[in-house]
Amino acid sequence: MAQLTIKDIAKICNVGVSTVSRAINNEPGISDKTKERIMQVVQEFNYIPNNSARNLKMVESNTIALIVTGIDNVFFQSMFGEFEVELRKHGFDYLLHAVSWQEDVVTVATELMKEKRLKGMILLGGQMERPEERLDALGIPYVLCTVAHSSEHPLPNCPWVGIDDELEGYNAVSYLINKGHRDIALVAGQRYDNAVSAQRLAGYRRALAEHGIPYREELVHFTDPQMTDFSPENGYVGAKELIASGVSFTAMFCMSDLITLGAYKALDEAGVRVPKDCSVIGFDGIELSKYMCPGLTTMYQPRVDMVKSSVELLMKEVGADNGPVHKIYEATLIERDSVITREE
């Protein structure tokens, strides 16, 4: 299939290439008549401009990279589709790039940036080391999405959107405490390498402290370093070990809905009924949480709004007005059937 170029179109229309360029890019300095005539031909011959040439000339492309740490995380995956429609809505292409835990995000980002002359990037994922300063220094437009954040250890003044992980962790546990629970197990992610996990843990501890409940190490389970964070396996093993340890609890806070899935399984196998014997609260509010049995009470993260805000912020950056902003969303508690009030 021989590709036809802007020159061909120009020849057919008997105009100069610049005129065609003006027509297809909706630029001023062209009469409506010729523009219409050109567009007619463009339609007819199904001409599509070569993106490489355009990008080359325009120094930067119209591509946004979506860099995600933890591409196998269902919560992130559920945002891909949204990102796609949102970015396309703004006329951008998007490039999905997974980075493993070993790789340095900034290195990857820089290479990608140069190689592709990207317009900007959205960093999705929680477990990366704070990349802001280096990214700022490089002058790369970016926005951080779903990074770990708390009011006590706030993210610097850089563009990001997310929730207050400490606060929402606090809210989740407070909810449990208000329901009469005092012995609350926690199934967490990585102990050291996951900032999101760390923040939600802090929220857990604060909620406990505020109600005069001592923090007990034996009630919390961190996942193995080599196990996938926030995964069903994480939850299964976590709950399993908690049960095996013999420690007693009437409620359980899982740091992700996927964790609860595995925890449900472990609980079930041990004959512990949810919520009768043990209440469970999750985090994220992914679609499947609704279909768990019993329906999972969970902290819903407004992921659709979050991706919208993310691209809006990025648009601001690459567009006219600068002024790094961020946006904190609140998680909303969805009450279903996995938590019951504990009788004295």
Partner DNA sequence: CTCTATGACGGTAACGTTTCCAATATCAAT
Partner DNA sequence: ATTGATATTGGAAACGTTACCGTCATAGAG
Q: What residues make contact with a second copy under the rule CB under 8 A?
A: 1, 3, 46, 48-53, 55-56, 61, 71-72, 74, 77-78, 80-81, 84-85, 93-98, 110-111, 114-117, 138-140, 231-232, 235-236, 258, 261-262, 264-265, 268, 287-288, 290-293, 295
CA dihedral 171, 176, 177, 179 (to 10 degrees): 130
- Using the minimum distance from each CB to a second copy, give the nearer residue, 132 or 166: 132
Minimum CB–partner distance for residue 57 and a second copy (Å): 9
In 112-226, DSSP assigns E strands to 120-124, 142-145, 160-163, 184-190, 220-223
Q: How far apart are the first and last CA of the chain?
A: 77
Counting contacts by CB under 7 A, is residue 3 touching DNA? yes
Helix (H, G, I), strand (E, B) or coil at 135: helix
Q: Which residues contact 196 (CB under 8 A, 6 or more apart)?
A: 126, 127, 146, 147, 148, 165, 189, 255
Counting contacts by CB under 7 A, is residue 35 touching DNA? yes
* Rounded Cα gap, residues 50 and 135, in angstroms: 30
Return the one option of DNA, a second copy, none that residue 185 interacts with (CB less than 5 to 8 A, by type).
none
| 38, 148, 280, 315 from 132: Cα distances, Å | 46, 13, 36, 18
Return the one option of a second copy, DNA, none that residue 320 interacts with (CB less than 5 to 8 A, by type).
none
Counting contacts by CB under 7 A, is residue 59 touching DNA? yes
Closest CA to 108 of 76, 138, 80: 138
Return the one option of a second copy, DNA, none that residue 163 interacts with (CB less than 5 to 8 A, by type).
none
* Rounded Cα gap, residues 192 and 161, in angstroms: 23
Minimum CB–partner distance for residue 117 and DNA (Å): 8
Counting contacts by CB under 7 A, is residue 19 touching DNA? yes
Counting contacts by CB under 7 A, is residue 116 touching DNA? no
* Rounded Cα gap, residues 186 and 183, in angstroms: 10
Task: Rule CB under 7 A: choose which of 7, 89, 211, 290 binds DNA.
Answer: 7
Task: Rule CB under 7 A: choose which of 40, 56, 215, 248 binds DNA.
Answer: 56
Minimum CB–partner distance for residue 105 and DNA (Å): 23
Fill in the DSSP letter of residue 184.
E
Minimum CB–partner distance for residue 4 and a second copy (Å): 9
Minimum CB–partner distance for residue 10 and DNA (Å): 7
> Among the candidate windows 19-27, 87-95, 97-105, 173-181, which touches DNA by CB under 7 A?
19-27
